[in-house]
Structure 1
Amino acid sequence: MAGTHETIRGTAAGTAPVPLSVLDLATVGSGLTATDALRTSVELARNAERLGFHRFWVAEHHSMPGVASSSPAVILAHLAAHTERIRLGSGGVMLPNHAPLVIAEQFGTLEALAPGRIDLGLGRAPGTDGATAAALRRTDRSGSSVPRAGGEGADEFPQQLAELTRFLDDDFPDGHPYSRIHAVPGPIQATLPGGVQSPGRPPVWLLGSSGFSARLAGMLGLPFAFAHHFSAAHTVPALELYRESFRPSESLGEPYAVIGVSALATEDEKEARRQVLTGALSMVRLRTGRPGLIPSAEEAEAYEFSSLEREFVDSWLSNVIHGTPDAVRDGLDGLVKRTGADELMITSNAHGSEARVRSYELIAGEYGLPGATG
């Protein structure tokens, strides 16, 4: 299997206890367009590279007006054209929504566009509601064209993962129905007359917010990314399960766990609270069946929360590390100590680009990352 310890592991820079990375959802704020959101993603990726962050990942979501990241592979290709060094990846591609061969082809293409810089993070959830999941999965296992909510879902994730891995490595055994099918770009090209071996293929990561993917990642010897930002209560148990289940593989000799964490830094503590309230209001609307664009700070301030909504907001914001740069650093350092995470992947949710761009600059400056100017 291709994919080395070096491509998975990062080196902590400055005074950061672990490598710092970025997760972006290409959020669309009120008064803004998807074009604005995707331009912000480019700006964030370029700044993350300049500042010294290790990776920049984008996540797959569907039928959410405030999130423009429905097609991670398309966005990653665009980001690859606007960056030079930073690792780019999916955080993640929701495998049940896609044929494994299609994912192998897409990420083989990305690897050809940006050799040695692509990560393939995979999730087993649909990244949306059941009805949208049915619309995404148009065929049943026999190939019949029927929209059904079941499809090939999370229960079949291990089989889908095994199939995808064989397409990436081009190593289906003789006699397998797919033994003569090849994901291109891919290893098959090196075996033909005049073929040249590519440096490798993207390392596969498993993503999750529960114990299932943690155990599977451990058993397969894969790096694991946990969604602490929306499943904080399960972080420590999941990471313990991952480490207990871990079996060394060709791509990874020991466990490597990344935590996705929501964090936003501003020069002023009150302004940080004002900015993160926009994401909290967006989640209130999503959880109550009213998904929309990310509200502005002014809109969030003016919103009259019910008592139940206020309770949800307080709970949600308790897991969002926000405040001045030193306060955010304290929160991130504490999270590393509690969990033993090998890397932090920070997502900064706020309306528009200014607060998000500045937040990463302040965090980089607090940790003394190579490109930070303070």
Structure 2
Amino acid sequence: MAEQQQDGAIRGRARGTAPVPLSVLDLATVGSGLTAAQALRTTVSLARLAERRGFHRFWVAEHHSMPGVASSSPAVILAHLAAHTERIRLGSGGVMLPNHAPLVIAEQFGTLEALAPGRVDLGLGRAPGTDGATAAALRRADRLSEGADEFPQQLSELVRFLDDDFPDGHRYARVHAVPGPVQGTVPGGVQSADRPSVWLLGSSGFSARLAGMLGLPFSFAHHFSSANTIPALDLYRESFRPSAVLDRPYASIGVSAFAAEEEREARRQVMTGALSMLRLRTGRPGLVPTPEEAEAYVFSDIERDFVDGWLANVEFGTPDAVREQLNDLIKRTGVDEIKITAVGHGREARLRSYELIADAYELPVVTGA
């Protein structure tokens, strides 16, 4: 029964004129002149707006040692969002499993499921979500390759903790993730009807193939690995085997998109993300710059080439233009859902972007949200 409910939760229906369900991926970005507290308040506002405007999910990501990103603890943020929303699905996009013990993640997301029954997604990645030194500090390990190499085993353990079904004789057979199914097996216990829906995330073929083989939903990071999008989606579909969770593939992609009333303003905002990404990739991570700072920055020829390449994979402009760009991307990839991330500076511009995209797709206003 729980598996059928997970399947139903995954297969959301498109709203308005959107060809597939639209969701939100938020990084809790911290802009120049702003604090992490302000950034996280904006994340709450975005989640409430997404719920009110009929977006299907709201996911947050795990990143570390990046001044411009406040989402280092997805479970903590999701617990806060659960208290400020009522219906929208909440999830991680994702939790970087090699950074954590599987039992810890099972307990955290079991707790989230108890706080927000039937609306929690556990998206899992195998990258560190940071640089090598920070990953070593997180994992207390010298050989970082161990985390990625052991990902399938870690995933298997995590799912068994979530389902509480280690076989007799296994060293963890008497270890239980709480909250979890074990509470329904003790005297007077009542079994919860739901458990978190498990997704695999990726920016290459490894997780695509694994997700297909396990019959799990898959989300690809198109917003920073667009050259691999089609190959990874093809590999996922070719590798897919029906499971208790899904009877057919279900793929989503993360997409950078920004809408404004005028194309010039949309470009000003996405240039803040471009400059921020340039600084990150060249070892100078910092806060997301203001539009004025981005306009004043003098790019070298090499830096301009990088920015032009990055902007080629961002859908931005007027609401109608963004809608057409997203529709074209959906058609080219054949995805079942898109998760929109809007990297700009400041609260109002980012909130307005999602509102305009919702209007462009005629997403209905959900009363009471």
Q: What pairs with 1:145-224 in structure 2 (closer than 5 Å)?
A: 147-150=141-144, 152-224=146-218
Q: Which residue of 1 aligns with 2:45?
A: 43
Q: Which residue of 2 aligns with 1:27?
A: 29
When normalised by structure 1's length, the TM-score is 0.96
Cα deviation digits, residues 191-227 of structure 1 (max 9, x gap): 0010001011001000000000000000000000000
Matched, 1:275 2:288: no
Matched, 1:232 2:231: no
CA contact (8 A) 1:2 1:203 kept: no
CA contact (8 A) 1:130 1:149 kept: no
Cα deviation digits, residues 38-97 of structure 1 (max 9, x gap): 000000000000000000000000000000000000000000000000000000000000
Give the direction of change, closer, same or farther, for the CA distance of 1:149–1:352 in structure 2 (3 Å limit): farther
Q: Which residue of 1 aligns with 2:286?
A: 292
When normalised by structure 2's length, the TM-score is 0.98
Distance 2:193 2:354 in 1: 32
Q: Which residue of 1 aligns with 2:72?
A: 70
Q: Which residue of 1 aligns with 2:333?
A: 339
Q: Secondary structure at the match of 2:150?
A: helix
Distance 1:213 1:151 in 2: 16
Q: Give the aligned residue type for 2:131.
A: D
Q: Out of 335, 357, 367, which is 1:363 matched to? A: 357
Number of matched pairs: 365
How far has the Cα of 1:249 moved from its partner? 0.4
Distance 2:143 2:137 in 1: 8
Distance 1:152 1:238 in 2: 23
Q: Give the aligned residue type for 2:196.
A: P
Matched, 1:315 2:317: no
Distance 1:228 1:2 in 2: 30
CA contact (8 A) 1:2 1:169 kept: no
Unaligned runs of 5+ in 2: none
Q: Secondary structure at the match of 1:92?
A: strand
CA contact (8 A) 1:29 1:293 kept: yes
Cα deviation digits, residues 279-314 of structure 1 (max 9, x gap): 000011001100000000000000111111011000
CA contact (8 A) 1:361 1:372 kept: no
Q: Which residue of 1 aligns with 2:342?
A: 348
Cα deviation digits, residues 91-124 of structure 1 (max 9, x gap): 0000000000000000000000000010000000
Q: Secondary structure at the match of 1:121?
A: strand
Distance 1:135 1:291 in 2: 18
Distance 1:324 1:151 in 2: 44
Unaligned runs of 5+ in 1: 139-146
Matched, 1:324 2:324: no
Could you tell me the percent identity over the aligned residues?
79
CA contact (8 A) 1:225 1:260 kept: yes
Distance 2:142 2:137 in 1: 8
How much is the aligned-residue C-alpha RMSD, in angstroms? Answer: 1.1
Q: What pairs with 1:102-181 in structure 2 (closer than 5 Å)?
A: 102-138=104-140, 147-150=141-144, 152-181=146-175
Q: Secondary structure at the match of 2:261?
A: coil
Cα deviation digits, residues 313-367 of structure 1 (max 9, x gap): 0000000000000100010000011000000100000011111100000000000
Matched, 1:101 2:103: yes
CA contact (8 A) 1:211 1:241 kept: yes
CA contact (8 A) 2:24 2:340 kept: yes
